[in-house]
Structure 1
Amino acid sequence: MHVNLNLSDVEIVDFSQLHVVILTHQGSPRALPLSIQNFIAWRKSNRLSPNNSRTFNFMYDDPRVTDEAQYRLGLGVEVNNQEYSLPENMHFDTIPSGRCAYIRHIGAEYLLSDKITYLFNHWLEATENTPAKFPLFFERVSFGEQVTEAEMITDIYLPLN
C-alpha cells in the first residue's frame, strides 16, 4: 500500500527544546525487539511511563541502505533532570528547539517509511528547505498493547535549517 501525500500534508512547526534519555540500538533491525524490551524495563524501573513521559524514536540511519552492523536507532523518553542511573548504551541528550517539517501518521508502523521517503525525496526539494544536523525523529503519541494498529498515532519531525 502506498501513501499519497501532497505538499499541504506537511506543516512547518516550531519544536520546543526537550531533554531526553536515549537508548541507542546498534546492529540488525531484527534485534530491535530486545532493545525495546530493555528500554521498557528501564522506563518502568524509573517510573517513566508513556502516561507521564513523552516517547520518541531517533532515526540515525536508513535500514534500507545501512549495513546491519552499522545500523543505529534511538529509543527516547522525556526527562526533567539528569538524576537517573544509565546503563552503558543509554545517554542524556536534548532535542533542540527549532523549525521542523511535521506529519501526523495514524495507522500501521510499516507505512511510516512512505511518509519519510516523501519528506526527503519530494518535499525538501519542492520547498527548498534543507535538513538540520539533528536526525529525523518520531513522537509515539498513541501506541502499545491497548491500541490497535489502526489507532496508533506517530508524529514525524524532520528538523530544518
Structure 2
Amino acid sequence: MSAADIIETVQYLTFKLDEEVFALDVAKVREILEYTGITKVPQTPDFMRGVINLRGSVVPVIDLRLKFGMSATERTVNTCIIVVEVELEDETLILGVLADSVQEVIEMEPEQIEAAPHIGTHLNTDFIKGMGKHDNRFIMILDSDKIFTDEELYTVQDVG
C-alpha cells in the first residue's frame, strides 16, 4: 500500500523515535503498554529486544530505533510498548514495538499525505506508506506489514 492507495480519512497513532515522529494506522494497534520487564532471548537479531508476557501470551518486542539504524531505545518515564498486528502470509502476528513516547491519535485526509521519498536505489523505503503533514511537521506513516522482511518475522514468530 502506498500514499496513492489511501483514499479515505484514516486515524493514526503518532509516536516518537528520537526526535522523529512516526505513525501507525490505529486499526493495526491493539494497545499501548507501559514499559515492562523484557526477557532477552539468546541468538535473536539485535533489534529484537526480547519477549513480554501479555496476559499469558508470549509477545516479541522489537526496538524500531535499532531496526531503523538509530541508537537503542533508552528506558524513560515515557518509554512504552505499542502492541501491533502484523500480517505474515495468512497469519496475524502480535508484536510489541518500543517507542520513546506516544503522542496522540490524529486523523489525516488523503490530501495531507504525500508519497514516500525515493532515497537512492539501495535503501528500501517500502515500509513507509507516505509522509503526512500535520501541524506544520512531517510524520512518517509506517506500513506495519512491511517494516520487517518475512525472514525476520519468521525468526520473531519462532520465539513467540
TM-score of the two chains, using structure 2 as the length reference:
0.31
TM-score under structure 1 length normalisation: 0.31
